[in-house]
């Protein structure tokens, strides 16, 4: 089997297992399949996937990294500090491997600050930093140390912060996408079945790699 279109990719990603009891503290909101598919397809059209070694930071169930493997990435590092997330990611990887010929995966249970490999690309939908202050900053700083190209998703209201930290680390913003990110009612305090959060996806590239 092969992935022939963005729609095919979205369908496969929609079949992956998601959190059944997500952590409020860790801000475990998985990237929806339609957003993940558009994101990954954009990378593939830029020739940034096939044969590449990539880090999926704060991977959760692994929807971004697995999508990249389905599109021809050579190797994915999946990193998350939550054991349940890593186990779920491993389960989803095995499911994809049964149906598709995909690349290598390494699953790492640790804090992002301890990751010390260099990769071609970083993709991340990290915690937005609303529960643990400046957590989004921590992920961006590690990403800038790890690869010369970074795709990172954040709340749209933090746009000035993303622009500033990119400039401070000598990265330029080459592309920006904006999404309504649907978050399903998971916790008791949620008042609506689905809440849309205004988010941005930034492509950042090292100015002098």
Q: What CATH number did the domain enclosing 15 receive?
A: 3.40.50.150
pLDDT attached to residue 193 = 59
User: pLDDT: is 138 or 191 the higher one?
Assistant: 138
Checking if the pLDDT of 23 tops 80, the result is no
The pLDDT tens digits for 73-84 are: 999 999 999 999
Position 189 confidence tier, pLDDT thresholds 50, 70, 90: very low
Radius of gyration of the chain (CA): 16
Q: How many distinct structural domains can be found in the chain?
A: 1
Q: Supply the mean pLDDT for the chain.
A: 90
1 falls within a domain: no
86 falls within a domain: yes
Say how many residues make up the chain: 209
- The domain containing residue 123 runs over which residues? 6-206
Sheet holding 194-206, edge to edge: 104-109, 75-80, 53-57, 121-124, 149-155, 194-206, 171-184
Checking if the pLDDT of 194 tops 80, the result is no
In whole angstroms, what is the distance from residue 43 CA to residue 37 CA? 10
Q: Hunting for tokens 């009891």 — which residue is that? A: 21
Checking if the pLDDT of 192 tops 60, the result is no
Bridge partners, residue 204, by sequence? 150, 173
Q: Which residues contact 2 (CB under 8 A, 6 or more apart)?
A: 100
45 falls within a domain: yes
Work out the average pLDDT over 88-102.
Answer: 96
């Amino acid at each position: 089997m092969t992935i022939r279109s963005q729609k095919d990719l979205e369908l496969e990603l929609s079949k992956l297992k998601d959190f059944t009891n997500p952590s409020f503290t860790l801000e475990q909101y998985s990237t929806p399949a339609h957003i993940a598919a558009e994101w990954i397809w954009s990378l593939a059209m830029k020739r940034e996937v096939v044969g590449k070694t990539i880090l999926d930071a704060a991977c959760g169930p692994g929807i971004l990294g697995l999508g990249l493997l389905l599109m021809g990435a050579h190797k994915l590092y999946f990193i998350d500090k939550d054991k349940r997330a890593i186990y779920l990611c491993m389960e989803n990887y095995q499911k994809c491997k049964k149906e598709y010929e995909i690349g290598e995966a390494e699953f790492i249970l640790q804090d992002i600050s301890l990751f010390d490999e260099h990769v071609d690309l970083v993709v991340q939908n990290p915690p937005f930093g609303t529960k643990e202050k400046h957590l989004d900053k921590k992920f961006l700083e590690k990403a800038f140390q790890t690869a010369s190209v970074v795709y990172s998703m954040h709340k749209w209201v933090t746009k000035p912060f993303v622009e500033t930290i990119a400039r401070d680390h000598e990265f330029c913003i080459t592309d920006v996408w904006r999404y309504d990110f649907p978050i399903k009612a998971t916790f008791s305090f949620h008042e609506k079945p689905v809440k849309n959060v205004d988010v941005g996806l930034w492509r950042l590239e090292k100015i002098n790699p």
